[in-house]
Amino acid sequence: MVEEDGMDLEEEEEEDYRSESRRKASTVFSVIASVLSGFLGNWACFKVSEMLNVPSQAFPAAGSQQRVAPAGQSRNKVVLKPGHSLLDWIRLTKSGQDLTGLRGRLIEVTEDELKKHNTKKDCWTCIRGMVYNLSAYMDFHPGGEEELMRAAGIDSTDLFDEVHRWVNYESMLKECLVGRMAVKPSPALQGLSAPPSLRPEPLSAPLPAKDHRPRYDWFQTDGTVNIVVYTKRKIPSAGCAVVDLQDDNLRVEMLLGRMSYLLYWRLSSRVQDHVDVQTAHSVGKVQLCLRKSVKEKWTQLGQSLEHHDTFIQCKDRGLFYRECVLLSKTDVTHNTQLLRLQLPPGSRMQVPVGRHVYLKTSVQGTDVVKPYTAVDQMLIPPSQSSAEVGSDIHLMIKVYPDGVLTPHIANLPIGASLSVGGPEGSLTLRVLRDVTHLYMLAAGTGFTPMARLIRLALQEFTVIRKMKLMFFNRQERDILWQSQLDELCTKEERFEVQHVLSEPADSWTGRRGRIDACMLQNFLERPENSKCLVCVCGPAGFTESAVQLVRQLDFSEEELHVFQA
């Protein structure tokens, strides 16, 4: 049984979040520090998202296709006109065309000026203090013009972060840069008191009875430095620690449900590359062992770096990238490969089940970033695995010939390096608590989050009596890990798979077509005293139909989990 079971993690996380907010509020200096961290590059500009007081829920509109959907809601992309792909956009940005209307000049933009540029043909927006002219990008925006227009003439930092903060807008929009926001005189800088919007709230709410915040300690021996993190909750077997030792900087992030605890130092002295991570799952303790390069006594662990010892929601934590090496590529189908990436020697990462990482690469000088759900090497683990836990990541990647990133990845030679960010994702294992019937509706590569879910559920969730996957593909040759799925069906009584093909050969004797009510009616059975969970992942159109149909069958929002990156 997974160790999260039996704990009310959701309540704990809410409490963690509230207590962290209060803790933060108790010191003006930490607020000022976060304001100062909003200064960008050499341009000392104030964090204008706070200055402009943008209503945080304005973009995208409620019910908009671009909004990161709560469980059960899907998000759509619009069909872009021919000649408006990401690659076409990259080409346009390299064409030398003046995309700002300022002929390369950079200007300082006041709030009043920003507000004036609010039409499709003249659309400016501000993200983290920088102002961009989005007019040329209008027809290239995968979320459509209407969505983009919600950012017109305002500071859209919060709105942007809410929808897709992982998109590398600085690189994508560099030719659209108009300039920076003019700095408002700030009381924080003049009199060292926080500006009104950042003033801490009074501590009226009582402090929580128990401090749920993780804490850490360290000790040393002649040759080692050991850091012990007490997470104060049970840790799932899949782990929770993401460790990155880069030069002398040690970054340790604990992913605890929806919360993230970060430790970040510039170490006092040099250590060897390799970090050893031991997790005591049931007591919630993670111990890191670093080997000193020189056997001498350390008087302190190091100097704290940005956001050290903070405990915030994962979605509010910035993405961290590390350079991985492509170790192998194995064909899964005619157009899908399994990539094995090796983390740098100082990094350890176990991507939690159902979460994704980001691959970032430069295509014609523009950074392109895409999310990919991590999988295991196989559906069923071999009895002996040679890979060291947490040192490799496996990604199943379908190569789209007209894509920007995937053909580039497919052509990478073994040994090439790839920048990997994250992990991120919304699945927390508490959704599986007490579930007796797990249903998975997957289409195409939407199978990838299900692959680890199946394995985890089989290995650790003994309460689950039935696990059924309905797997939608175009043709038989597109079915990912078909033989492994068939093998699992014969081995595991609890597991069942049904394949549905939308473009089958005449010889196909199985189900045909796209998802419909009739298919789901019998598949999603609800026996007495059962607790069901339906997980959905696939192309946007599929996800939307699946969610609608599942709702029509009276499954509640709590009984539905939609994977979205």
Binding residues vs ligand NAD (CB under 6 A): 356, 373, 398, 443-446, 448-449, 472-474, 478, 502, 514-515, 537-539, 541-542, 545, 563-565
Min dist. Cβ of residue 207 to ligand NAD (A)? 37
Among residues 76 and 328, whose Cβ is nearest to ligand NAD? 76
> What is the C-alpha to C-alpha distance for residues 126 and 130, in angstroms, rounded to an integer?
5
Min dist. Cβ of residue 442 to ligand NAD (A)? 8
Strands 122-127 and 130-133: antiparallel
Among residues 91 and 474, whose Cβ is nearest to ligand NAD? 474
Query: By C-alpha distance, which of 318, 313, 311 is closest to 214?
Result: 311
> What is the C-alpha to C-alpha distance for residues 500 and 480, in angstroms, rounded to an integer?
13
Query: By C-alpha distance, which of 451, 460, 512 is closest to 485?
Result: 451
Min dist. Cβ of residue 500 to ligand NAD (A)? 6
Among residues 324 and 515, whose Cβ is nearest to ligand NAD? 515
Residue 21, C-beta contacts closer than 8 angstroms, at least 6 positions apart: none
R_g (Cα) of the chain, nearest Å: 25
Residues in the chain: 565
Among residues 366 and 564, whose Cβ is nearest to ligand NAD? 564
Among residues 421 and 444, whose Cβ is nearest to ligand NAD? 444
CA distances to 144, 147, 230, 269, 537 from 75, in Å: 12, 12, 37, 48, 11
Cα angle: 140, vertex 143, 145; to 5 degrees: 65
CA distances to 447, 450, 463, 513, 543 from 522, in Å: 21, 20, 22, 16, 19
Min dist. Cβ of residue 160 to ligand NAD (A)? 19
The CA-based diameter of the chain, rounded to the nearest angstrom, is: 78
Min dist. Cβ of residue 478 to ligand NAD (A)? 6
Q: Is 107 in contact with 117 (CB distance < 8 Å)?
A: no
Among residues 348 and 356, whose Cβ is nearest to ligand NAD? 356
> What is the C-alpha to C-alpha distance for residues 25 and 13, in angstroms, rounded to an integer?
18
Among residues 65 and 473, whose Cβ is nearest to ligand NAD? 473
Peptide bond between residue 196 and the one before it cis (omega within 30 degrees of 0): no
Min dist. Cβ of residue 312 to ligand NAD (A)? 23
Alpha-carbon dihedral of residues 426, 428, 430, 433, nearest 10 degrees? 100
Min dist. Cβ of residue 524 to ligand NAD (A)? 17
Among residues 272 and 502, whose Cβ is nearest to ligand NAD? 502
Min dist. Cβ of residue 161 to ligand NAD (A)? 18
Min dist. Cβ of residue 502 to ligand NAD (A)? 4
> What is the C-alpha to C-alpha distance for residues 462 and 15, in angstroms, rounded to an integer?
29
Outline where 245-392 has alpha helix (H): none
Min dist. Cβ of residue 286 to ligand NAD (A)? 26
Among residues 270 and 514, whose Cβ is nearest to ligand NAD? 514
Among residues 428 and 448, whose Cβ is nearest to ligand NAD? 448
Among residues 75 and 437, whose Cβ is nearest to ligand NAD? 75
CA distances to 62, 148, 161, 309 from 67, in Å: 7, 12, 11, 31
Among residues 7 and 540, whose Cβ is nearest to ligand NAD? 540
H or E element that contains 274: strand 271-280
Min dist. Cβ of residue 482 to ligand NAD (A)? 14
CA distances to 5, 49, 263, 489, 558 from 433, in Å: 6, 39, 30, 23, 11
Query: By C-alpha distance, which of 276, 284, 283, 285 is closest to 225?
Result: 276
Min dist. Cβ of residue 444 to ligand NAD (A)? 2
Min dist. Cβ of residue 146 to ligand NAD (A)? 20
DSSP letter string, 454-504: HHHHHHH-TT--EEEEEEEESSGGG-TTHHHHHHHHHH-TTEEEEEEESS-
Among residues 60 and 504, whose Cβ is nearest to ligand NAD? 504
Q: What is residue 25's three-state secondary structure?
A: helix
For the chain, what is the total number of helices (H) and then of strands (E)? 14, 27
